Chains A and B, each alone.
Chain A
Amino acid sequence: MGTATLTPPAAVAPPAAGKAGKGKRVRPARERAFWPFLLPALIAYSALFVLPSLFGFWVSFNKWAGPGSPMTWHGLGNYLELARSEAFRTSFVNTFVLAFGGGALVFAFTFLSMMVLRQVKGRAFIRSVIFLPMIISVIAVGVAIGFLLNPDGAVNTILGWVGIEARPWLGPDMVFKCIVAGLVWSSTGFYVALMMSAADSIPPYLYEDAKLIGATKWEQFRHITLPLTWDVFAVSAVLWVVNSLKVFEIVIAFTTAGTPASPPIQARTVAVQQYASVAGGGVPELGSGAAMGVVILIVTTILIVLTRRVTRRERVELS
């Protein structure tokens, strides 16, 4: 057999060698096509992404009020200022709380949905309902939040009916918890949709087998659903990390929407802090904003690597 398998190439070899000139012509043609095909994308990517990123990196070492104003070298000054700024430190911690605390909640709800929703009647409908917050505009959310959570809003009114004292939901001390809840509410649907589509492709007979041997819902999830959707979970986890580190609109929707005010320090994320340093009245602090961008880029990179590492598993495949 071994020789048999080896023979054909050998037999083919002479013709191949005979067509060597032609073969050589084919290969360079492909090589010649390499750059013309790659270049447009490479140029576009470099011009629109790589160069601006490098420029942003450069700006982070300078004081700069924007195009037209002189850029003055500030060394690590912007970074040191960030380290000393209570507002930035708080926003940094908040961003992590959102990434990890919010992430834990989002995936807890996602897994729960996967356990519960797999066989429920009307699950497609329920899934759409869970997904809905994802597509509601943040502007609408912002307005609704005022109606719901203001001191004399709907939530406090309803709580009043059952004898619970009104709470200052949007006050500086409580608003961040509300933001975490809002973020979980608005993003869970996306991850449910993603994970469920993976779960749907698991053949039902695996669950039937499991049921026959008396596996509980949790055991079915633990031994069938999770291993077979792990790849999608790994991707979802990375997506979450990337998205959670740039949480912005929802903070604004819960706090200052409609005004150029800055949200209370207790509720700021790095993205919000960055926005406050460059937008609104006053002289833009682009160096400071760029430094925040660099910090969050580094953190994102580290977290993605860690997430990839933690979620790395032997791939489970159905034979």
Chain B
Amino acid sequence: MRKLTVMLTVGALALSVGACGKKNGSAASEKELVYTSSWGADEPQGKLIKSIADDFTKATGTKVDLKFVGRKGTDTLPTEMNAGQGPDLFDTSTDSVGAFVAQNLAAPLDDVLDMKVPGEGKKVRDVLPESVVKASTDKDHVRFMAHTVISTAVWYDASKHAGLAPKTWKEFIAYLDEAKKDGRTPLGQDGTVNFYNAYWFYSALVRSEGAGSLSALGKDPAAWDRPAVLAAAKKVEELADGGYFQKDFMATKYPAAQDAWAQGKYDLNLNGTWLAAETGSKLAKGTEVASFQLPAGGKNSVEVGTLGWGVNAKGHNVEAAKEFLAFALQKKYEAKISTDAHNIPARPDVPAPGYLAGVQKDVAEAKFTHRTYDDMAADKNWWNNVFLPLDDQLLSGKIDAATFVKTGKKKAADYLASKG
């Protein structure tokens, strides 16, 4: 989802890169790693990756052929990788690794956990917490090594609302009411982005019920009968009916609402950890970005998604690529994720930038964690064609919570029946 940070407009798609990636088939590639990155060379992550690659070459003698192709440049990557022409290393994330796994391109990386991080005398499994490894693992194997943690939270300006942290849903609604009474718009929402709209129901349900509670809705119609589903839907209904969002929020085109939030027009925005970086220059002077977790009660599960490096199972240098991963997880590099890229480092012993410290703490203290969208987005047809449109109706106030649950159950049954 952090791919939002780029304007990957579809015009660019139409003209999409037909160019093939760096060929990796030559005989000289024995001691050369090929890494095709979806970061830009000028992005902080790109610069960091370049410095890691240079250091890696110095330390091991293995050359790294590094290519920055940007977000859309990697569209053809799976095809190249399958043809045996792809890179050894590629960038991936919790919500995008599924396609690589389905195409048998993501090498299992379980053994990397037992490799030593150079110069630190610790194994990879000692520096990465379980929740981070879990976010980079599918049902069978560890699929990539995380360098960055991403999560979701409610964002606000601490210079105006210092220490805002409603502990219960009631307190949250009370705050919204108070803001409304004072003539402010409590919530900004880019309603044309359906997966941002889904944050509300998803967070309300999964934060309370924990991992698996949302994805079950697309796999079993009976899952809709659980009282927690109706309760979460009721929370969203309450938001829709309460008039807490800006006027005509469903017609607000991204990134207008988050930009207006950055300008201080709205109090709160439920969004990913990339929000402050994405709104960057638009943040009003003096804004102190801070966050709290949407209070939903129950398990208080916290979302942990990761961005990281995958290894091409069909690459020519799988072992050297694994060595690179352990090398790249050194503390000095992870520090740059925080200081330069302004993200939460995958290693909890490296402090996140100030405004992300709250989320880093939430993640570290969480007894329960879940993955981005509870993995529901993996089933594209269900997610795009059934769930998101239905959720849009709930958030926009077109249907109430009871109708949402009733319709959802029926649609899940129909969907599963049509899939056969």
Contacts and interface: CB of A to CB of B under 8 A. Distances in A.
B377 A258 contact: no
B11 interface: yes
Nearest to B249: A151
A175 to B, nearest CB: 8
Interface string A69-106: 10000000100110011111000000000000000000
Interface stretch (A27-35, A190-198, A282-290): A282-290
Interface bracket on B: 35 or more
A150 B79 contact: no
B192 A255 contact: yes
B385 A280 contact: no
B388 interface: yes
Contacts of B82: 66-68
Contact of B78 (A68, A146, A170, A175): A68
Interface string B74-113: 0100110111000000000001101100111100000000
Contact of B98 (A87, A168, A264, A283): A283
Contacts of A279: 75
Given A68-B104, A150-B256, A258-B4, A166 B248 contact: yes
B380 A284 contact: yes
A137 B11 CA distance: 7
Given A253-B10, A283-B379, A288-B381, A68 B396 contact: no
Given A137-B11, A256-B193, A284 B102 contact: yes
Contacts of B292: none
A261 B11 contact: no
Interface string A254-267: 01111111101100
Given A66-B79, A281-B380, 12 more contacts: A66-B103, A67-B79, A67-B82, A67-B103, A85-B381, A138-B14, A258-B4, A260-B1, A276-B384, A280-B380, A283-B99, A283-B102
What is the size category of the interface that chain A forms with chain B?
A: 35 or more
Interface in A141-180: 142, 145-146, 149-152, 166, 168-172, 174-175
B23 interface: no
B326 interface: no
B122 interface: no
Contacts of A169: 251
Given A87-B386, A282-B95, A171 B250 contact: yes
A269 interface: no
A172 B381 CA distance: 19
A248 to B, nearest CB: 7
B247 A281 contact: no
Interface stretch (B28-36, B168-176, B412-420): B412-420
Interface in B243-268: 246-256
B215 to A, nearest CB: 12
B192 A81 contact: no
Given A151-B252, A170-B252, A285-B380, A81 B78 contact: no
A193 to B, nearest CB: 21
A139 interface: yes
A277 interface: yes
Contacts of B79: 66-67
B251 A174 contact: yes
A69 B102 contact: yes
Interface string A194-236: 0000000000000000000000000000000000000000000
A168 B248 contact: yes
A174 B105 CA distance: 42
B231 interface: no
B175 to A, nearest CB: 24
B248 A171 contact: yes
Interface in B54-92: 75, 78-79, 81-83
Contacts of A66: 78-79, 82, 99, 102-103
Interface in B1-17: 1, 3-4, 7-14
B339 interface: no
B383 interface: yes
B378 interface: yes
A258 B250 contact: no
Contacts of A87: 384-386, 389
Contacts of A248: 10, 14
Contacts of A130: none
Nearest to B81: A68
Contacts of B418: 80-81, 84-85
Contacts of A134: none
Contact of A282 (B251, B314, B379): B379
A68 B248 contact: no
A283 to B, nearest CB: 5
Nearest to A251: B10
Contact of A139 (B1, B11, B192): B11
B9 A260 contact: no
Nearest to B417: A84
A172 B392 contact: yes
A262 B14 CA distance: 17
A253 B248 contact: no
Nearest to A255: B192
Given A256-B192, A260-B3, A281-B377, A81 B392 contact: no
Contacts of A85: 381, 385, 418
A218 to B, nearest CB: 39
B194 interface: yes
A151 B185 CA distance: 14
A259 B377 CA distance: 15
Contacts of A260: 1, 3-4, 8
Contact of B1 (A69, A137, A152, A281): A281
A219 B319 CA distance: 79
A237 interface: no
B146 to A, nearest CB: 16
B88 to A, nearest CB: 16
Contacts of A257: 7, 9-10, 253-254
Given A145-B253, A282-B99, A276 B380 contact: yes
